[in-house]
Structure formats: structure tokens, C-alpha cells
Amino acid sequence: MQYGIFDHLDLGDTSVSTHYRNRLDFIEACEQAGIDSYHIAEHHLTTLGMAPSPNLFLSAVAQRTRRLRFGPMIFAAPLYHPLRLLEEIAMLDQMSEGRLEMGFGRGAVAAEIEFFGVDPKTADEKYQNLMNYVTDGLTRGKVTVGRQDGSQEELPLTIPTFQTPHPPLWYGQHTPPSARKAALRGMNTLNLNTAAETRACTDVFKATWKEQHGDAPLPRMGIGRFVVVNADASLARAAAQRAYKCWYDSFTYLSSRLGFSHFHHRPESFDGMVEEGRAIAGTPDMVADYIVDQTLQAGTNYFVGQLAFGNLTREEMLSSIGLFGQEVMPRVEKQLSRAGQARAVAA
């Protein structure tokens, strides 16, 4: 089992400068806890996402960490010039000596795409074209550019990526058809839906992977969950309920102002998320049991916790990730090892 962190970088109740500083401290603590990768969302003109330029924030992450892998989940592809994004990706991969992960998508909120004068109806085509341009250019080490006279010229990249042919690819999947597409392209995936909905995707992903890639090792198939860990379960639940309300206000910030509904629904309360199986707040034992249950139900091999959200304080976040690394992760490994041994005996 590998572990990641997903982060909207949503604003709590601190100043913006303090918010960035606290989050970078948290990310350092994630590395110390043994987390494998950090994934950040991209949003615009909303308190849900305080990293409208993921690469700018991730350049700070690259300098504050030494082992942690990181990347966007996802780049909102329709908002980028392909060449600029390609060059920024190469810079980040070199600055981190090969720790970048690349996630591409159409953008989760159509209104945010419209802010940039882009028709959301063209988002899928722009996403496909951009991803093809970036991966092809990085693989070949050169790109075709236009000139003022209308001609085109092929030029070599002055900044290649550290990883070859390019950093690993990621996709935020929600449906079995998207899981099939991701498997065909050899992409890692992250799913934020219920365990049953995720299982429908992972079953398709694994079958497609076998068909396309044979016995090659599966990439990371992640399931994302809100998590708060505390030695006192009641304190964990109280902090989670308070912080989730703040997160939900950010989640609905644009929809409330502009009058649209979210495509990816979230309950209004943390208790509602718990009822759907998409959140946990409790002791290390409770959280470990939950992770094992969720990953076995969903058929995933990568657990991604959202341990920083809403108005959780710096101290609450650092304590939670500390307990997650020191106590939760070892418990999960023991349980999964016993489950694997039991299956082997039964077979």
C-alpha cells in the first residue's frame, strides 16, 4: 500500500500568507510521516483553491522537500498554452530531480473555464490536444512551433524532463469508461467517489490493463478520503465537523454566487460524508480499520488522505499527519499482510 495526500489548498480562517506557510509546514510533515505523494487541485476565483497556479506553489514544495513526489490533480488543461505548460513541467521536474507527477483534466467547474474566455463545450478537445502535445513533445525532446510568416519549425527542447520519457501521468476518474481510457494510456488514477462506485472503475481498469499491458505491474489506483486522526475520537470528530463546514462553504462558494449546481456532489456535513463512507475521524485504530476496509472494497492499491482542509489549525494538521505516519500506516500494513496470508491459505 502506498499513501498520498490530496489538497484543495482551500482557505481556512487565517491570513493568506499564513495559510501558505502552514500548508508548507504540513507538507514537510507529510514527507517525514512517509507519505509517497502530494496532489494539489487547481481552482480559480474561489476560496476552494488557493493555488490557481499549481506550478508556482509546487516550486516551493520542491524546495521544502527531498523525497516527496508531487503534482497537480489536475492541470485544468483548457486554460494553458501547451508550450508554456510543457516548459514549466520540465522546469519543475528538473528542480525536484524527478519527483513530479502530471495530472491533466478538463477542469471540474465549467464556470471557472468560462472566466478565461474558453467555451466549456470545447474543454474535452482542448484537454486531449494539450496532453498529446505535452507528452509527445517531452517524449521526442522537440516541438513544432509556428513563425510569423505562417511557416512551422521543429525546435529541440532546451529543458528536458529529469524523468524519461516524461513524469508519470494521472487522471481523476469517476466512471468506468474514464477508467478504461486511463488504463489504455497507462495512467495512474484517483477516485473520490464511494467504495462501490470506485470498485466499478477499478474492475474495468484492471481488466483493460491486463488486455493492453499484459502482466506489467499495475500503476497506482487511488481512493481519496477526508481524514482526521486524534488519540481521542471525540476530539477528532469535533475538529472534522468544524473544519468540514468551513471546507463546504468554500466548495459551494462559486455555485452560491453564480447559481449553478456541482457536478460532483458532496454532503453538507462531515457526518453525511461518513455515512457515505467517504470520510473518517477517529483514533489510529479506527482510521486503520477504515482504510483497510475501504481499499479492499474499492480494489485500490493507493490511499489518498485529505488531512488538511477547512479551518483545521496548524497544530491539528501536524498532529493528525504525525499519528497517521507513526500509528495508522503500520497498523494498515499489518492488517493487509494478515489478509493476504489468509487469502493465500484459502487458495
Convert the pLDDT of each residue in 27-44 to its tens digit. 999 999 999 999 999 999
Residue 324 has a pLDDT of 98
- Per residue in 64-121, pLDDT (tens digit) is 999 999 999 999 999 999 999 999 999 999 999 999 999 999 887 899 999 999 999 9
For residue 131, the model assigns a pLDDT of: 94
Report CA-CA distances (Å) from 275 to 202, 206, 266, 272, 279: 22, 28, 12, 5, 8
SS (H, E, C) the chain: CEEEEEECCCCCCCCHHHHHHHHHHHHHHHHHHCCCEEEECCCCCCCCCCCCCHHHHHHHHHHHCCCCEEEECCEEHHHCCHHHHHHHHHHHHHHCCCCECEEEECCCCHHHHHCCCCCHHHHHHHHHHHHHHHHHHHHHCEEEEECCCCCEEEEECCCCCCCCCCCCEEEECCCHHHHHHHHHCCCEEEECCCHHHHHHHHHHHHHHHHHHHCCCCCCCEEEEEEEEECCCHHHHHHHHHHHHHHHHHHHCHHHHHHCCCCCCCCCCCHHHHHHCCCEEEECHHHHHHHHHHHHHHHCCCEEEEECCCCCCCHHHHHHHHHHHHHHHHHHHHHHHHHHHHHHHHHC
Ranges of each domain in the chain: 2-73+169-346
Q: What sign results for the dihedral spanned by CA atoms 17, 20, 26, 29?
A: negative
Homologous superfamily (CATH) of 2-73+169-346 is Luciferase-like domain (3.20.20.30)
User: Could you read off the pLDDT of 142-200 as tens digits, one per residue?
Assistant: 999 988 888 899 999 999 999 999 999 999 988 999 999 999 999 999 999 999 999 99
The mean pLDDT value for 312-330 works out to: 98
Q: Do residues 20 and 54 touch, judged by C-beta distance below 8 A?
A: no
Q: What is the pTM of this model?
A: 0.95
Q: What is the 3-state secondary structure (H, E, C) of 172-210?
A: ECCCHHHHHHHHHCCCEEEECCCHHHHHHHHHHHHHHHH
Residue 126 backbone phi and psi in degrees, to 5: -65, -40
* pLDDT category of residue 261 using cuts at 50, 70 and 90: confident
pLDDT at residue 340, rounded to an integer: 76
Average pLDDT over residues 285-299: 97
